[in-house]
Amino acid sequence: MVDSSAWLEYFAGGANADRFAPPILATRDLLVPTLALYEVFKRVRVQRGDSEALQAIAVMEQGRVIDFDRALALAAARISLEHDLPVADSIMLATARQFGATLWTQDADFEAIEGVKYFPKQPSRN
For 6-45, the pLDDT digits (tens) are 999 999 999 999 999 999 999 999 999 999 999 999 999 9
Beta-bridge partner residues of 116: 103
Q: Which domains are assigned to the chain? A: 4-118 (3.40.50.1010)
pTM, entire model: 0.94
Alpha helices in 3-126 (DSSP H): 4-12, 17-25, 34-48, 50-60, 70-83, 87-98
Band of the pLDDT at 101, cuts 50, 70, 90? very high
pLDDT digits (tens, 9 = 90+) for 34-53: 999 999 999 999 999 999 99
